[in-house]
Amino acid sequence: MPTPRLAPVGPYRAILNRVSSYADEAAAYLRRRRLTRRPFARVWWTGGRGSAFAAETADGRALFLAAAELIDVARAEPRE
């Protein structure tokens, strides 16, 4: 009894598989990046020196609170 021949896979299938694998890798990269990203405040001084402060530190908390107050002030409607 002869074995049945399988239909050949078209070249478009190989391209589709490759693009799908790239898309899967990109989605996984973005998920990992989103999980490890933490908020921080960056401060620059005259002369180009700068520092980043994590939100978990005391200085970082103070910077985040000050920024929130500035945003609230900027959002307030001007007085006439």
Q: Please state, in angstroms and rounded to a whole number, the distance separating the CA atoms of residues 11 and 18.
A: 11
In a domain, 1, yes or no: no
pLDDT over 90 (residue 42):
no
Q: What is the DSSP string of 36-57?
A: H---EEEEE-TTS-EEEEETTS
The total number of structural domains that make up the chain:
2
Summarised one tens digit per residue, pLDDT across range 9-37 is 666 777 778 888 888 888 888 888 776 67
Mean pLDDT, all residues of the chain? 80
Mean pLDDT of 42-65: 89
Q: Please state, in angstroms and rounded to a whole number, the distance separating the CA atoms of residues 6 and 26.
A: 33
**62 and 25 in one domain?**
no
In a domain, 31, yes or no: yes
**33 and 43 in one domain?**
no
pLDDT score of 3: 61
Q: Model pTM?
A: 0.46
- Which phi and psi angles does 77 have, rounded to 5°? -75, 140
80: pLDDT confidence band, cut at 50, 70 and 90?
low
